[in-house]
Amino acid sequence: MPPLTLTQLSNSTFYISSPSNVGVIIYSSKAILIDSGNNREAGRQILKLLKERDLELSLIVNTHSHADHIGGNEFLQKRTNCRVAATSVESNFIEHPVLEPTVLNGGFPHIRLQNKFLMARPSRVTDILLNSGKISETSLTAVPLPGHFLDMIGVETVDEVLFTADSVIAEEVLEKYHLNFLYDIKSHFKTLEIHKQRENSLFVPSHGNPVGLDLFRGLVEYNEFKLNENIRIVLDQMTKKQTSEEILAQVCRYYNLELNANQYVLIFSTVRSILAYLLDEKKVEVLYTEGQMLWRRL
């Protein structure tokens, strides 16, 4: 991992650019983190940056429980005894990280899924948050961002900076991979629609550079466009009754994607979420026959 650096965005709001961006809120001689990076090494470098400024880490606010957002929790909490805050359902995954690959795999995660990319080290959640409103004893506000995972939040600062977690993904990432992990397609569309009305001065996605209002709205539009494209591609591949896995294979052939074990469970989960959305929209039907679950376009 290359050395991490601390960049000021506004008066008290900073961020650390990394594979999964980290927000840093500085007040008096203390710091609050928004997420903690993708692994233990990120946590080590973050603590070094804080110590260089004589800052005491008081709290980590986790936007959600995916390993690339909580990867530094365990190291930082052990070294500083800081508090960790998350919404109730996400806290279960933070304290029991095996739940992430278990959910993605739909059963016990085989050995190739038990890795730091899908399963962070456990940390203790000390503060259970509501997904909306003031974050206790801070100047921060939780903003509900459903869709990407079970109960993901964004975090808004008094400087009108909004950390948007994984509710939007940088264009270059979507252009390269075409699909990103999504849990609830309908809720994600609603989140994107609400994003179009936001008036914050600056937005920090977890994967991508901070952007102003105009660029953010363009980014939201592109994320919406790409998701609609994904849905269309899934439908287009359904020329006959097919299993979920056969549909995934066709989508991968269309986008020319080769998946490793981690990518397979993440993208397969997204495809299944799209199929669930299409079933709710009455555009497909699902059949159970001869030990198979088959999908058919209506």
Q: What is the CATH number of domain 6-166?
A: 3.60.15.10
Assess contact for 233 and 256: CB atoms under 8 A.
no
pTM of the model: 0.95
What is the spatial distance between Cα 198 and Cα 203, in angstroms, rounded to a whole number?
Answer: 10
Q: What is the CATH number of domain 232-297?
A: 1.10.10.10
Alpha-helical runs (H) found in the chain? 40-52, 67-70, 73-80, 88-95, 99-105, 171-177, 185-195, 213-237, 244-255, 261-280
Query: What does the DSSP assignment read for 169-180?
Result: --HHHHHHHS--
Q: Which of 241, 238, 266, 274 is nearest to 254 (CA)?
A: 238
Burial (CB count within 10 angstroms: exposed 0-12, middle 13-18, buried 19+), residue 229 = middle
pLDDT of residue 154: 98
Mean pLDDT score, 286-297: 96
pLDDT in tens, 181-205: 999 999 999 999 999 999 999 999 9
Q: DSSP class of residue 211?
A: B
pLDDT in tens, 204-252: 999 999 999 999 999 999 999 999 999 999 999 898 999 999 999 999 9
> Domain map of the chain by residue range?
6-166, 232-297
Tell me the helix, strand and coil percentages in the chain, rounded to 5.
40, 20, 40
